[in-house]
Chains A and B, each alone.
Chain A
């Protein structure tokens, strides 16, 4: 059964049906909500089936399909390994929650809104499942269109500015990547990602190709200094749009690094770790400090996303097993936790219609259930043991320590700063006195909101306590990437702090030690 094709096409078909629903505006809105939820639930079931059937012992692409549909340009070639599987799981898991989260808050043009989200889902699954490099690009870029419309139509006050910025920033990054892709395909004579990942490109070419891909992925990631579209897009997007942005779209950059940059340009990756580490270190410290002074809750979480994504890039370019595994877990964990934090903001935004931190306060008294959930996700974001954030940060730092102790040191300060801005946010929102009568009068979580947040709590705990379930399918694929990186000449970065010499042999019995 072509399960991946079905998962990609089903939301598209559903979206078309939504747009042509009969009835007056209210009826259409009601039907659209139910139909969209049903579609995303079917996708979730299909995703779970995928996970159940997935063979975690191999790095090969599974559920492979290939149809030479599009002439000489590209083939409809799909297949997933463990990395793609986990990111698809994340997408299908968050999607029904997004639909539920917009159940009441979106009132205008509901069928179009739901259709845009279904298109997003289809394009995201397609991005992760594509095995043809141009098919990947098609899905990767196609996601711009629905997101542009979601931000521009249903966003906040500065939505138009934000939607333009989002679109043009990401497009500019991507066209450079396309030039590189065209060159690579001309060199290797194949559009298959698996073949390209085994092709040894000339070292000088790798350098430029790496930079071209870097332009695209760094914008998507987003890395400092090209992160500025993110806070704007987040703040102006509707709640569910923010969840999808933070939960899945930001993962496209990391996925791109691990799928393209690392295995295809291993030499350039090893030579340019100073660039990535440098940007990551700046990002962690700078965006954490910026997050500290935000008045807008969504902006604060958006900046914290940039800091967390810097952990991902740091882990990826540690170029060893622990770092890569940590980075992948970080992406999954961040998808859950920051998605949940945006949902939490959405809950109180729906009640008070402001994101000003100063307008809240004392929610621990008036909304105890809400305060509990918010506390949980605050802790998960900070990286408290037993939550997913801890496992991810720990692995990233462990892997990074073997490559650069200095980078590890700076990133670790990010954890402290992260605790500072998150806990301060929590203190201002949940403790103290309510800012006004309207704040005090806000009702606690409704059943629908509990139903949205409870599954994320469960998943976050699961990933924190037993990460092996998530790690096991990814390990063979990650091992393959690490094998490509083995023996490459690393750039000389300050790896040792004389006070505490790194002892990689003890920590990593594997190949990472030789990389020095």
Chain B
């Protein structure tokens, strides 16, 4: 077989997503009318499912394709499952929003939504499989460009357009910085392939300042993508301005992809004696993200901004797992990503499920007042997500925090663990505030009774996963994350 076909076979999910997104575009165009929305969306979910299906019989060991540009291993497979699942959920959860706008005759209800989402997902799948700094950049841009469009998808709304533009300008700047870092690394290491860089860097007698600059620039670009402090400024504005389903998407899948990418680049390309160089950067952005995410969220009144700061803080916690650069730490990071995606999607779903009596979307936290009386089921689910995000045992959200801090303490990073735990107490304050509003305050806003059953089922499933019952998943998850993390550390 020609190597290109072998490579295509190894890159199964990407192949399916590429062909699928093109087919979805055709399908949408030729179906036309209002029906195109539903048909394309369901088709997109099927494509995402099919892409996941190709992961099933993926070999455990690393398979390199496209002449070393691409690698499929347990690490990428684990992250792809999360990304594909989050993307499928993001397609489904947008359906009521799109249908609603379709009914109103708004120009925002377009079938391109699932297509753009598919393309972004393809970019993310490439990101987590990137074995070369150029593949990395291709994946990153493929994920980013559809995201800019999605942020501005609510075309009639000024805030959405502003969010799209802001995201684009800052995103382009970050890509530029990243690319500059890539050129520096290439210049001082002589290769763009991750494992080759590791070999060259490991053989160098003295640390090269240029390489260090390269790492700093690459990390800055990636920190923007995961919205880690100090590159987080766009996050609250984009989440607030973008349509809620898009914000839900942004908060989940891209974070998983970018964190996975970050882990692979740092661990594979810069191990051993270079590691302390990037570790102190990670330490700084982890601490800054945890603290700023926790403190800045206290003053928020808009629920989407609150969730944005919450995701900044959570990225900080996840990065604590990356800081030791150990298999245990990476395994904890993957575990954190998995649970974080579930909690965040769940919280956004609850926000989406609510609408004021006049049909306008719920935006402020005050709209949640008395939810436990008017919609007890939804309030309970939201309480589970909030307590889980706050990291209170026995809810599932406690265990990833536990795992990352365990990894940090085992690596001797005791100070990091203490700062992190204290930040989590500050963060608990604002998660509790939403629970207080839902459970202790009398109902204030009249809410529309309508609710989407599909989204309701997703909320129930995610809440169950985040509840103490989800602890039964600890054992299989730990096994899967350990296997995935081991793939980054050649024996």
Q: Which of B392, B406, B409, B424 contacts A142 (CB 8 A)?
A: B392
Q: How far is the CA of A145 from the CA of B402 in the complex (A)?
A: 18
B392 and A141 within 8 A (CB): yes
**Which residues of A have CB within 8 Å of B393?**
137-138, 141-142
Among B135-143, B212-220, B354-362, B470-478, the one that faces the other chain is B470-478
Q: How far is the CA of A515 from the CA of B362 in the complex (A)?
A: 66
A182 and B405 within 8 A (CB): yes
Q: How far is the CA of A167 from the CA of B394 in the complex (A)?
A: 15
**Which residues of A have CB within 8 Å of B472?**
69-70
B421 and A73 within 8 A (CB): no
A168 and B439 within 8 A (CB): no
Contact A73/B474 with A152-B440, A171-B425, A179-B418 known, Cβ cut-off 8 Å: yes
Q: Which of A138, A152, A183 contacts B439 (CB 8 A)?
A: A152
Q: How far is the CA of A232 from the CA of B422 in the complex (A)?
A: 23
Contact A149/B439 with A73-B403, A141-B393, A175-B421 known, Cβ cut-off 8 Å: yes
Query: Is A48 at the interface (CB under 8 A from chain B)?
Result: no
Closest to B409 in A: A182
B471 and A70 within 8 A (CB): yes
A71 and B474 within 8 A (CB): yes
Closest to B393 in A: A138
For residues 88 through 147 of chain A, which have their beta carbon under 8 Å from a beta carbon of chain B?
134, 137-139, 141-142, 144-145
A167 and B439 within 8 A (CB): no
Among B96-104, B259-267, B428-436, the one that faces the other chain is B428-436
Complex interface bits, A140-176 against B, C-beta within 8 A gives 1, otherwise 0: 0110110011001100000110011001100110011
B475 and A69 within 8 A (CB): yes
Query: Is A22 at the interface (CB under 8 A from chain B)?
Result: no
Q: Which of B414, B421, B435 contacts A178 (CB 8 A)?
A: B421
Query: Is B301 at the interface (CB under 8 A from chain A)?
Result: no
Closest to A185 in B: B406
Query: Is B292 at the interface (CB under 8 A from chain A)?
Result: no
A176 and B418 within 8 A (CB): yes
Closest to A208 in B: B414
Q: How far is the CA of A189 from the CA of B394 in the complex (A)?
A: 23
Complex interface bits, B411-451 against A, C-beta within 8 A gives 1, otherwise 0: 00010011001101100110010011001100000000000
For residues 230 through 244 of chain B, which have their beta carbon under 8 Å from a beta carbon of chain A?
none
Closest to A151 in B: B440
A168 and B421 within 8 A (CB): no
Query: Is B173 at the interface (CB under 8 A from chain A)?
Result: no
Closest to A134 in B: B402
Closest to B471 in A: A70
B474 and A167 within 8 A (CB): no
B392 and A72 within 8 A (CB): no
Q: How far is the CA of A366 from the CA of B454 in the complex (A)?
A: 62
Q: How far is the CA of A72 from the CA of B418 in the complex (A)?
A: 22
Query: Is A186 at the interface (CB under 8 A from chain B)?
Result: yes
Q: How far is the CA of A119 from the CA of B255 in the complex (A)?
A: 35
A249 to chain B, nearest CB (A): 16
Query: Is B29 at the interface (CB under 8 A from chain A)?
Result: no
Contact A171/B428 with A69-B475, A70-B471, A186-B410 known, Cβ cut-off 8 Å: yes
B384 to chain A, nearest CB (A): 10
A167 and B410 within 8 A (CB): no
**Which residues of A have CB within 8 Å of B405?**
178-179, 182
Query: Is B169 at the interface (CB under 8 A from chain A)?
Result: no
Q: Count A-B pairs with CB separation below 8 Å.
A: 89
Complex interface bits, A394-419 against B, C-beta within 8 A gives 1, otherwise 0: 00000000000000000000000000
B432 and A71 within 8 A (CB): no
B421 and A72 within 8 A (CB): no
Contact A72/B425 with A152-B436, A152-B440, A182-B406 known, Cβ cut-off 8 Å: no
A29 to chain B, nearest CB (A): 15
B371 to chain A, nearest CB (A): 13
Contact A142/B439 with A73-B474, A178-B421, A183-B409 known, Cβ cut-off 8 Å: no
B436 and A160 within 8 A (CB): yes
B370 to chain A, nearest CB (A): 11
B421 and A179 within 8 A (CB): yes
B424 and A175 within 8 A (CB): yes
**Which residues of A have CB within 8 Å of B399?**
73
Complex interface bits, B352-382 against A, C-beta within 8 A gives 1, otherwise 0: 0000000000000000000000000000000
A145 and B440 within 8 A (CB): no
B474 and A168 within 8 A (CB): no
B333 to chain A, nearest CB (A): 15
**Which residues of B have CB within 8 Å of A149?**
439
Q: How far is the CA of A186 from the CA of B402 in the complex (A)?
A: 13
**Which residues of B have CB within 8 Å of A134?**
402
B73 to chain A, nearest CB (A): 22
Closest to A169 in B: B425
Closest to A152 in B: B440
Query: Is B479 at the interface (CB under 8 A from chain A)?
Result: yes
Q: How far is the CA of A275 from the CA of B156 in the complex (A)?
A: 66
Q: How far is the CA of A414 from the CA of B73 in the complex (A)?
A: 68
**Which residues of A have CB within 8 Å of B398?**
138, 141
Q: How far is the CA of A234 from the CA of B277 in the complex (A)?
A: 52
Query: Is B224 at the interface (CB under 8 A from chain A)?
Result: no
A308 to chain B, nearest CB (A): 28
For residues 170 through 208 of chain A, which have their beta carbon under 8 Å from a beta carbon of chain B?
171-172, 175-176, 178-179, 182-183, 185-186
Q: Which of A138, A172, A175, A179 contacts B409 (CB 8 A)?
A: A179
Closest to B387 in A: A145
**Which residues of B have CB within 8 Å of A168?**
425, 428-429, 432
B432 and A148 within 8 A (CB): yes
Contact A72/B440 with A145-B387, A164-B432 known, Cβ cut-off 8 Å: no
B89 to chain A, nearest CB (A): 25
**Which residues of B have CB within 8 Å of A163?**
436, 440
**Which residues of B have CB within 8 Å of A176?**
418, 421
**Which residues of A have CB within 8 Å of B432?**
148, 164, 167-168
Closest to B373 in A: A109
**Which residues of B have CB within 8 Å of A142?**
392-394
Q: Which of A139, A159, A172 contacts B425 (CB 8 A)?
A: A172
Of the candidates A152, A159, A182, the one having the most CB atoms from chain B within 10 angstroms of its own CB is A182
A69 to chain B, nearest CB (A): 7
A189 to chain B, nearest CB (A): 11
**Which residues of B have CB within 8 Å of A186?**
406, 409-410
Q: What are 6 A-B interface contacts by the 8 Å CB criterion?
A: A70-B471, A70-B474, A73-B474, A138-B398, A160-B440, A171-B428
Nearest 3 A/B pairs, CB to CB: A71-B475, A175-B421, A71-B478
Binding site for A on B (CB under 8 A): 387, 392-394, 398-399, 402-403, 405-406, 409-410, 414, 417-418, 421-422, 424-425, 428-429, 432, 435-436, 439-440, 471-472, 474-479
Further pairs besides A141-B393, A179-B417, A182-B406: 9, Cβ < 8 Å: A138-B393, A141-B392, A145-B392, A148-B432, A153-B440, A175-B421, A178-B421, A179-B414, A185-B406
